[in-house]
Amino acid sequence: MNRRRKWLKLTLWIVALLMVVLASLSVMSYIAIRRTPDWYQPDTSTQEQRSRAADRLENMLSLLVNWGQQKHFAKPATTDPQNAGQARSILSQKADEAFPITFTDDELNALFNKWANTHDRREWFEQYVEDPRLVIRGNQLIVVGKAKALDMVVSLVFEPKLTDDGKLDLKLAHVLGGVLPLPDALWSGRKDAIERILREKLPLYQQDAGISPDGVANGDAASAAMNQLLLSMLHYKPTAAVIFVPIVWEAQMSKSLPVKITALSIHDHTIEMTAEPMSADERRALLEELRRPEEIPVNKESAP
């Protein structure tokens, strides 16, 4: 009888200890998931600094468009005197010469905020996320913001790289709530909803996707490429390392020049890329890939 009482008392002590440990872990997890990560701090830059940062990125993008147009039309697209000297230098390059692309997270955020403050765009996306930001930290690209549905700061941590065979691997390495990995069950529903939308739209773009013999892609080709990029990201697989440089904007029509990314480096709050023209064979292979039906299996890999 005494032995039974001793075992009962010991069992109760063990259960009580486990409950205390679990309660402590729950409190610690709650605190951690509510913490603000150190890469998501208030923006202390002035309006003038943000304006200059946005201007720098706009100028670089203007030069990229000029370069793309020179490859196709052999003439510049901009008359902005501030870019004239750089444009002349870019346009003097040979047709097969690469174009260096460099930008910082401050520039990206400044340009995004400039875009968001027009046409009530901010009001639309702030229904879902507050104060979204892009942070370049080491070799990581972090998209972070306050998710209203989850009432917490959520970070999507990417580790982009080029594979040995020249593909772009965005590699979604972590999804964090606060500073803790976010359980897949909390965001898988939203991920599945995004995938359904992408899969519904992709065939519509694929059937009309086209790249002309002179290398110009229509809007459907660029849209198909973007959809495939997002689907590949959701399934943790690499895709074509290609960007589409706009060269024509007209009512109900857009044209762009697909160019390949041959180098990618992420460091010190900066992204550096190298864009090069694609050969005719590379463009044909790209169009075949854009038109190929998606065959991503239903049973997706789980996030790392």
Residue 303 counted as domain residue: no
pLDDT greater at residue 117 or residue 201: 201
Provide the pLDDT confidence category of residue 101 given band limits of 50, 70 and 90.
very high
| Residues 103-151: tens digit of each pLDDT | 999 999 999 988 888 877 788 878 888 899 999 999 999 999 998 877 8
Residues 6+ apart with CB under 8 A from 247: 65, 68, 69, 72, 73, 77, 216, 255, 256, 257
* Whether residue 247 has pLDDT greater than 70: yes
Residue 111 counted as domain residue: yes
Residue 90 counted as domain residue: yes
Least confident among 7-11, 156-160, 192-196, 265-269: 7-11
Task: Look at residues 116, 236, 110 and name the one whose alpha carbon lies nearest to residue 168.
Answer: 236
Provide the pLDDT confidence category of residue 285 given band limits of 50, 70 and 90.
very high
The boundaries of the domain holding residue 176 are 40-291
Residue 168 counted as domain residue: yes
Residue 258 counted as domain residue: yes
What is the count of structural domains for the chain?
1
Residue 1 counted as domain residue: no
| Residues 3-52: tens digit of each pLDDT | 555 555 555 555 444 554 444 434 444 444 557 888 888 888 899 999 99
Residue 12 counted as domain residue: no
Distance between CA atoms of residues 144 and 133, nearest Å: 5
- Structure tokens given for 253: 């029509």
Residue 63 counted as domain residue: yes
Burial (Cβ within 10 Å: 0-12, 13-18, ≥19) of residue 147: buried
Q: Would you say 275 and 98 are in contact if contact means Cβ atoms under 8 Å apart?
A: yes
Provide the pLDDT confidence category of residue 201 given band limits of 50, 70 and 90.
very high
